[in-house]
Chain A
Amino acid sequence: MDEFLRMEHVSKRFGDFYANRDINLSIRKGEVHTLLGENGAGKSTLMNVLIGLYQPTEGTIYLNGQAVRIDSPAQAVRLGIGMVHQHFMLVEAMTVFENIILGDRNTKGIFINKEARKKEILELAERYGLDVELDKSITEIAVGAQQRVEILKALYRGAELLILDEPSAALTDIEVEGLFKIMRKLTEEGKSIIFISHKMREVLRISDRITILRAGEVVTTLERSQTDGQELANLMIGRELAPSHYGKVEDPGSPVIQLRSVDYHKDSKHAGLNGVSLTVGRGEIVGIAGVDGNGQSQLAQVVTGVLTPDAGEVDMKGSKVAQFTPHGFILESVSHIPEDRNKMGLIGNMSVKDNIVLKSTDSPEFSSARGYHLKKKAIRDYALKMQEKYDIRCTSIEQETRNLSGGNQQKVILARELEGHPDLLVAVHPTRGLDIGATRFVHDTMIEARDKGCGVLLISADFDEILEVSDRIVVMFEGQIMGVFSGKNPPIEEISLAMAGK
C-alpha cells in the first residue's frame, strides 16, 4: 500500500513541556490507523499539529512524499486533511446543506447555486453511503446524522485523510455499526482514516494498524493481525512499576458507605452505572481504576449526593439513604475533592480565606445566628492556621484562588474538605495536572486521613496513582464493576485486562 502521510521526528513543546516528542508516524492510503493512548498521551496535540492549529517545534510532515507546511486549518483543508472533531463544528442555526457548503472556495460566483451544489453533495453522499437530509436544520437531526454531515463536509472539501476524534463517544451501538460501515467504504475508495479512541473493543474491530502513544511519545506501531487486547492494554499503561511508598491496609473497619446494585442511566455505557455494588470501610482507600468515561464521574456524583440512582440501595454508616442531596451528604460528613477543581471545587473569584470556610459558614465557630453574621476575625485566624498547616503558597489569604497554581488550589480544597475529619472522602482525579511535589502532598494527606479512620474512595485515570495508594482496587468498565483486587501485590496483568473490558 502506498503511503499518504508521514511525520518524521515531530515534536511539539509548550514552554519546557513536551506534549509530543520525536513522533514518527506513517499513514497509508486506504487504511484505518488507530491512535491509542491514555488521556494526556499527546493524541490531541499531534492531531492539532496535523490540522494546522499548532506549529510543530521540530520535525517535518510529508504528504505523498513531499515536505509540506501546514500553517492554518485552511491549508490543511487544501492539502486534503479533514477532521471530525469530538465536539462537532456545526452551525446549529443553519441547515445541513448550508453547513456543508460553508466557507467553500471551489466554486465561482457570488451567489449560491443551490441546485448544482445539492446535486454534487448527493452524488458524494451516495458514493460513500452517507445518508443525510440536506434541508433539515442541524438541531432536527440525531447525533449520528450530525456526524455523517461532518464526514460529508470533509469529503466535500476533498479530504483524502480523515481524522476521527473519538467518533463513537456519543453514538449508540447501532450508530457505531453505521459509522464503521462508512469507514470501511471510505478506505475501500482509497481514503485514509486516523481513528482516535480508547475503547479497546472498537479499536480491535476496525483498525488496520495501531500506534500507541504514551507520555507524548510513540511506543510502537503494530499490525492489527499481530496483536491482541492484552498487549495493547499493557503497552498503553505499562511502565516500570515502582513499589508503593505506603503500607496497605488489609482489614478495614466497619463500612462507611455501601452500594448495592446501583443503576444510573444503565444503558449509557460511558455515562452510567450498571448494577454497581461497592463498599468502602473505615480506614481504607478504595481505588477505582478504569479508562476515563466508563461511569466514574457518575459514581462520584452518586456517592456525594449529586445524582439520585435509578435503582439499588445506598447505605451510609449502616442506615439507608432516603434522599440524595449534596447538603444531606455533607451533614453525613462526606467530603469531596471534585474532578474539576476550577469549575466545581473552588469559587475562583473568591479569596483563599473565603474558599476555606465555604462549607462551614453556618457553624458557630465562624458565624453567629447561623451564618447571618460572619465572625471575620475567627475566619481569618483559621485561614492563616490552614495556610500554614497545608502549606498553601499564596501572596496572602486574601488572594483570589483562580490565581493560584493547581497544586495550591488543591491544597485549599484539601484544607476545606479534610479539616472536619470526614467519615468518607471522595477524591476524583485529585492529582490531575499537579507536579510531583504537590502529588506527593495530596497522597500523604489522603493516607493520613485514612489512618485516622476516614474511608476514602479514590477515582483516578492515573493507574500509577491507583497502585500507589489503594488498599483495594476496583476496576470499572462501561458502567460495570469488572473485578476487585487487593492493593497489596496487585495482579497488574489481570487489572489491565479488566480495564479493557475482558
Chain B
Amino acid sequence: MDWEFISNLLLASVRMATPLIFLALAELYSQRAGLVHIGLEGLAAIGSLVGFLVSLITGSPLLGVAAGAAVGILVNMIYAYATINLCAEQIVYGMAINIFAPALASFIYRVYFGAGSELVQVALMRSLAAILGVTPQSFLLKLLLDQPPMVYLAYALVLFTAVYFNRTKSGLNFKAVGEYPKASATLGINVIGVKYAASVICGALAGIGGAYLTTCYATTYTDGNVAGRGFIALAAVIFGRWSAGGVLLACLFFGFCDALQIRLQVGSYGIPYQFFQMIPYIATVVVLALIGMKKAGPKGVGKPYLREER
C-alpha cells in the first residue's frame, strides 16, 4: 500500500460521500419536522434518471441537477400530502415511493431509448479545477480543487444546516415541530407549513443526490444505480445523531467504505468481487447495531399531527 493508493482512496471517499450527504441532509430536514422518510432511495432514482435525461438533452449537467431537484420535489409531494394531510402511515408511504419512483424511472428510460438500445453516455460535470483551467498536482490541491461544484455545494449545505438549526429562530421552530407539534401550534408556529417546507427541501436534496450519480459520478443511467444509498443515508442520520456535523462525519465514513471496496475489488485476485461490494452495507449494519439502542431522534417522528378535534 503506497501513498498513491491512500491519496486516491481519500479523494474517492470525498466523491462517494457527496451523494450520501445530499440524501442524508434530505432525511435530516424531513425527520426534524417529524416525518421519517424511508423513500429516499426512490426519490434519488427518479432524480438520477431525470438528471441524466435533461443533461443529455440540454448538454448541461447543471440543468440536469436542477431538473433532478424539481422532480424530487414533485414526487415527494405525494408523500407529503398523504402523510401530512391524510395522516397516513409514514413508513408505508415511504415504501410506496421506493417501489413507485424507481419503476417510473425505469419505465421512462425504456420509453425514451427503446429496449435493447446501446448505452447512451453523457459528459460529466467538470471539476472546479477544469473550470478554472488549472491542473492541480499535489494531493491537497486535488482534494480542494479537483472536485465537481456539487461537492462544494454539499459541504456548504452542511454548514448552512448546522447554523440554521442551532442559531436561528426559524430553525428552532422547525425543530420544535418535529419534537412536539401540538406545543408548537399553541405557540403560533405553522406546523403544517413547516412540514411542507421540510418535504420540499427533502425532495429537492434527494433529487439532487440522485442526479449527482448521473451528472458527476457515472456517465450513464442504469436501473438500480442508487444501490441502497437512500438507506445508507437513513443510517447516517441516526449515526450522526440528527445533527448536521454528525451526519457529515457519518457520510464520510460510509463514503470511505464505498471507496475502499472499489479499490479492493480492483487490486485483488481470487476473492469474488461481491465480497468487497458488501463492505458499505456491512458497515451500515454494524454501525446501526452498535448505536441503535439509544434512540435520540425527534420525539414527534412518525406520528401524524391532527388538530385537536372532539
Contact = CB atoms under 8 A, between A and B. Distances in A.
Interface string B119-156: 00000000000000000000000000000000000000
A85 B185 CA distance: 13
A124 interface: no
B299 A92 contact: yes
Contact of A77 (B173, B182, B187): B187
Interface string B182-201: 11111111000000000000
Interface string B263-304: 000000000000000000000000000000000001100000
B179 interface: yes
Contact of B170 (A85, A93, A110, A153): A110
Interface in A85-143: 85, 89-94, 98, 101-105, 107, 109-112
B179 A110 contact: no
Interface string B55-78: 000000000000000000000000
Contacts of B189: 102-103
A296 B170 CA distance: 46
A110 B185 contact: no
Interface of B: 167-170, 172-173, 175-176, 179-180, 182-189, 298-299, 308, 310
Nearest to B180: A91
Contacts of B169: 101, 104, 107, 109-112
19 contacts: A14-B310, A73-B188, A85-B186, A90-B180, A90-B183, A91-B175, A91-B179, A91-B183, A94-B172, A94-B175, A101-B169, A101-B172, A102-B184, A103-B173, A103-B187, A109-B169, A111-B169, A112-B169, A112-B172
Interface in A70-85: 72-74, 77, 83, 85
Given A77-B188, A102-B184, A112 B308 contact: no
A72 B298 CA distance: 25
Interface in A2-44: 14, 19
A19 B310 CA distance: 11
Interface centre among A72, A103, A105 (most CB of B within 10 A): A103
A238 B46 CA distance: 68
B63 to A, nearest CB: 31
B299 A93 contact: yes
B294 to A, nearest CB: 14
A73 B182 CA distance: 11
Given A101-B169, A103-B189, A111-B169, A93 B298 contact: yes
A53 interface: yes
Given A51-B186, A101-B169, 14 more contacts: A72-B188, A73-B186, A83-B186, A89-B182, A89-B186, A91-B179, A91-B183, A92-B180, A103-B176, A103-B184, A104-B169, A112-B167, A112-B168, A157-B187
Contacts of A109: 169
A234 interface: no
Contacts of B185: 73
Interface centre among B167, B179, B187, B299 (most CB of A within 10 A): B187
Contact of A98 (B168, B172, B186): B172
A48 interface: yes
B310 A102 contact: no
Contacts of B182: 89
Contacts of A53: 308
A406 to B, nearest CB: 14
A93 B188 contact: no
A102 B186 CA distance: 10
Given A73-B186, A92-B179, A102 B168 contact: no
Contacts of A83: 186
Given A72-B188, A74-B188, A91 B176 contact: yes
Contacts of A74: 187-188
Interface centre among A51, A85, A98, A102 (most CB of B within 10 A): A102
Interface centre among B172, B186, B298 (most CB of A within 10 A): B186
B168 A110 contact: yes
B188 A89 contact: no
Given A91-B176, A93-B298, A102 B187 contact: yes
B208 to A, nearest CB: 24
A157 B183 CA distance: 14
Contacts of A157: 187
B253 to A, nearest CB: 25
A103 B308 contact: no
A92 B188 CA distance: 18
Nearest to A45: B310
Nearest to B310: A14
Interface centre among B169, B173, B175, B184 (most CB of A within 10 A): B169
A274 to B, nearest CB: 35
Nearest to B188: A74
Contacts of A77: 187-188
Given A77-B188, A110-B169, A110-B170, A102 B176 contact: yes
Contacts of B176: 91, 94, 102-103
Contacts of A93: 175, 179, 298-299
B196 to A, nearest CB: 18
A51 B182 CA distance: 14
Given A73-B186, A91-B179, A111-B167, A102 B173 contact: yes
The 7 closest A-B pairs by CB, nearest first: A74-B188, A103-B187, A89-B183, A91-B179, A103-B189, A73-B186, A91-B180
Contacts of B183: 89-91, 102
A89 B177 CA distance: 12
Contacts of A90: 180, 183
Nearest to A72: B188
A103 B179 CA distance: 14
Interface centre among B167, B175, B180, B188 (most CB of A within 10 A): B188
A85 to B, nearest CB: 8
B297 to A, nearest CB: 9
A157 B188 CA distance: 11
A105 B189 CA distance: 10
B32 to A, nearest CB: 11
A94 B186 contact: no
